[in-house]
Chains A and B, each alone.
Chain A
Amino acid sequence: EAGVTQFPSHSVIEKGQTVTLRCDPISGHDNLYWYRRVMGKEIKFLLHFVKESKQDESGMPNNRFLAERTGGTYSTLKVQPAELEDSGVYFCASSLGQGHSTDTQYFGPGTRLTVL
């Protein structure tokens, strides 16, 4: 069974440009999460989807970030316009969704975003 995949693995863009990150969860996983790790800091929760619905987006930094999960399958995270402080590693995770919070999350390899 394929794990969580993310695309691209690396992205280097200039300040003010737009970048879209993609996450493909494990097939059949209803829960999808986005996280971000800025250099030297802890992994920060961004948001949580259950199928196509945003369950919790309290971690989204500002309105330059837009996450979607059309059809409840893959998800995209768009940053528009990108700022220098958006640089970091963006992780996606998915879980089966068994109705309790011990549900195991499987992480993707991450997308390393560098904003110049």
Chain B
Amino acid sequence: QKEVEQNSGPLSVPEGAIASLNCTYSDRGSQSFFWYRQYSGKSPELIMFIYSNGDKEDGRFTAQLNKASQYVSLLIRDSQPSDSATYLCAVNWGGGFKTIFGAGTRLFVKA
């Protein structure tokens, strides 16, 4: 089992729809979870982090964490073509500073 798993996609949604991105992780000791967005040829950019079970909202983005199921997700409401990018799930391994990344999910938002 991979340490951090994501569906590689591509995930295609129409403009204005909700995009749902999922991630599972294998280490029960992990405490902090991150979603990064990476445009082609650019560096990763942090969207959100979450460390408590439940939902965390920031504008059009909502991160959801379920530690019992070892699952973290990102919802993007009112998706825009500019949201088209690769979304990387990352986990701080064992509660420390070592960050493990998933391979990313490519999202396409069709105008």
Contact = CB atoms under 8 A, between A and B. Distances in A.
A33 interface: yes
A56 B43 contact: no
B95 A101 contact: yes
B99 interface: yes
Interface string B79-106: 0000000001000100111111111100
B57 interface: no
A103 B101 contact: no
Given A91-B43, A110-B43, A101 B103 contact: no
Interface string B27-44: 000011000000000111
Interface in A57-116: 58-59, 91, 100-110
What size tier do the contact residues of chain B reach?
20 to 34
A42 interface: yes
A19 B54 CA distance: 45
Interface of A: 31, 33, 35, 41-45, 48, 55-56, 58-59, 91, 100-110
11 contacts: A35-B101, A42-B102, A42-B104, A43-B88, A43-B101, A58-B98, A101-B31, A105-B99, A107-B45, A109-B43, A110-B43
Given A35-B101, A45-B99, A58-B98, 6 more contacts: A43-B44, A43-B88, A45-B101, A91-B43, A107-B43, A108-B43
